[in-house]
Amino acid sequence: MTIERRVTRQLSVGSVRVGGDASVSVQSMTTTKTHDVDGTLAQVYSLSGAGADIVRITCNTAEAAEGLAEIVPRSPVPIIADIHFQYRLALAALEAGVQGLRLNPGNIRKPDHIRAVAREAKDRAIPIRVGVNAGSLDKDLLEKYGAPVPEALVESALYEIGLLEDEGFDLIKISVKHSNVPRMVASYRLLSEKVDYPLHLGVTEAGPPPGGLIKSVAGIASLLLDGIGDTIRFSLTTDPIEEAQAGRKLLEYLGLRERKGLDLIACPSCGRAEVDVVQVAKDAQEALEAANLPIQVAVMGCVVNGPGEAREADIGIAAGRGRGHLFIKGQVVRVVPEDEMVEALLDEARKLVEEGVDARLAAAEAGADEEALQEAALLRELQGDANQSAARRAAVAEVVQGDQ
């Protein structure tokens, strides 16, 4: 299944295209003091390595703007300056060479100031994100609506867009972030009906993981599945590296970006499991992530259902009685001792990435698939049929034949 994305205008943030047919991009934000050039650059490089396509940096003082002048030319990814209250810092950030600006309509309110920034950004072809935030909404809109409801956030965005457009400026991205997930989703849906500018998605002030992560996924994924959203940021109270990693993984899981990292799936375990599935999955994840293999791997508790249930995985392993049954695309290719399961999985995964599926299936151990079937049959005999398939089939047949 492919997500049908909403058609938006396209713009460029440095080398990264946003909107139109461009891939959904991942953003994060540094937590260092911007005047600390080396410290900030170190974090930018770490964010880039973790999956961030674009990095936002605060520009809240003259020293920060001066720091940007050194940071931007040395950064591996485009830099967006985050501006609050002081419009002249936006002008300074443009002079420093940033590839994008974020303006908050809630605290830069004078139309002449916004227009001045728009003129300068237009001359340099630098995009601006109109970053509406429920927590800093204009007081007049709060009085009008009584609360930061979706209609208030969208009205704020449209007003700011109008000021930019008055200057002939249309390199615009928009966000209408809220800490309340249903209101955040409703705000973006309403906005998407009124404009065709690219949208930057995020749940603001989501908080620390796991709660912040859950809220962010709930809001951002809901919109992405609707085809809404062109660039995303997880706003988590944690190391920003986790933001970039989470954003990248979400896009990979939704099929919106090519997989670059590990996707490990595992059964939740049950009484049939012959091994400690939780520990095996943990050990496998650590080993495979360290190897940086961009594949989907399954860790299954038993060979009875494992290979069949996880047949879509690139590779996996299912436990038998003291043994592990290694499979590729649902076909068992090797049988290994239980204490070598993770090591064997890692070894086969590396070969799979290097040689491809067909080559590894061709190299399958003779009789491995049949041995797995025999093991599964033995386990069913010893443990019973947990799904009670025979009894259920008989009951269904009795119902069908009852009126004949």
* 396 assigned to some structural domain: no
Out of 233, 253, 273, a domain closes at: 253
Predicted local distance difference test score (pLDDT) of residue 389 = 60
pLDDT band of 390, cuts 50, 70, 90 = low
Q: Residue 189's pLDDT band (boundaries 50, 70, 90)?
A: very high
pLDDT at 159 over 60: yes
The residue from 253, 287, 322 where one domain ends is 253
**Same domain membership, residue 350 and residue 234:** no
pLDDT digits (tens, 9 = 90+) for 316-345: 998 877 888 899 998 999 999 988 999 999
Q: What angle do CA 231, 211, 57 make, to 5 degrees?
A: 40
Q: Is the pLDDT of residue 386 over 90?
A: no
Residue 326 lies in a domain: yes
Is 272 part of any domain?
Answer: yes
Q: Residue 387: pLDDT band by 50, 70, 90 thresholds? A: low
pLDDT of 260 reads: 83
* Shared-domain flag, residues 285 and 215: no
- The pLDDT-based confidence of 403 (bands split at 50, 70, 90) is low
Q: Among the listed ranges 137-146, 219-228, 242-251, 369-378, which one has the minimum average pLDDT value?
A: 369-378
* CATH assignment at residue 161: 3.20.20.20
Over 70: is that where the pLDDT of 354 sits? yes
Length of the chain: 404
Residues 209 and 312 in one domain: no
Q: CATH number for the domain including 377?
A: 3.30.413.10
Is 65 in the same domain as 177? yes
Q: To which residue do tokens 């620390």 refer? A: 208
Q: Is 19 a member of any domain?
A: yes
In this model, does residue 106 exceed pLDDT 90? no
pLDDT at 287 over 90: yes
What does the pLDDT read at residue 271? Answer: 66
Q: What is the pLDDT of residues 40-57, one digit of tens each?
A: 999 999 999 999 999 999
Q: Do 336 and 359 contact (CB within 8 A), yes or no? A: no
Residues 159 and 215 grouped into a single domain: yes
Domain-embedded: residue 74: yes
**pTM for the model:** 0.85
Let me know whether 337 and 230 are in one domain.
Answer: no
CA–CA separation, 238 and 256 (whole Å): 25
| pLDDT at 78 > cutoff 90 | yes
Residue with the bigger pLDDT between 352 and 400: it is 352
Mean pLDDT of the chain: 91
Give the model's pLDDT for residue 383. Answer: 65
Residues 244 and 279 in one domain: no
Give the residue numbers spanning the domain of 339.
263-383
Assess whether 300 and 334 both reside in one domain: yes
Question: Do the domain assignments include residue 167?
Answer: yes
Q: Apex CA 115: angle with CA 109 and CA 117, to 5°?
A: 95
pLDDT in the model for residue 266: 87
pLDDT value of position 272: 62
Q: Is residue 403 one of the residues assigned to a domain?
A: no
Residue range 169-188, pLDDT digits in tens:
999 999 999 999 999 999 99
- One domain, residues 44 and 90: yes
Return the pLDDT at 384: 59
pLDDT score recorded for residue 381: 72
Report the pLDDT averaged over residues 238-255: 96
Boundary of a domain, candidates 224, 253, 282 = 253
Instruction: Tell whether the model's pLDDT for residue 94 goes beyond 90.
Output: yes
Residues 345 and 238 in one domain: no
Count other C-beta atoms under 10 Å from residue 208's C-beta: 11
Sheet hosting strand 315-319, strand order edge to edge: 263-266, 296-300, 315-319, 323-328, 331-337
Q: Is the confidence at residue 367, as pLDDT, over 90?
A: no
HSE-up of 314 (CA within 13 Å, CB side)?
Answer: 21
Q: 278 falls in which pLDDT band (50, 70, 90)?
A: confident
pLDDT of residue 115: 96
Q: Do 212 and 277 fall within a single domain? A: no
Same domain, 115 and 171: yes
Average pLDDT over residues 217-244: 97
Q: How many domains does the chain have?
A: 2
Confidence band for 270, pLDDT divided at 50, 70 and 90: confident
Q: Give per-residue pLDDT as tens, 255-267.
A: 999 988 889 988 8
Specify if 390 maps to a domain.
no
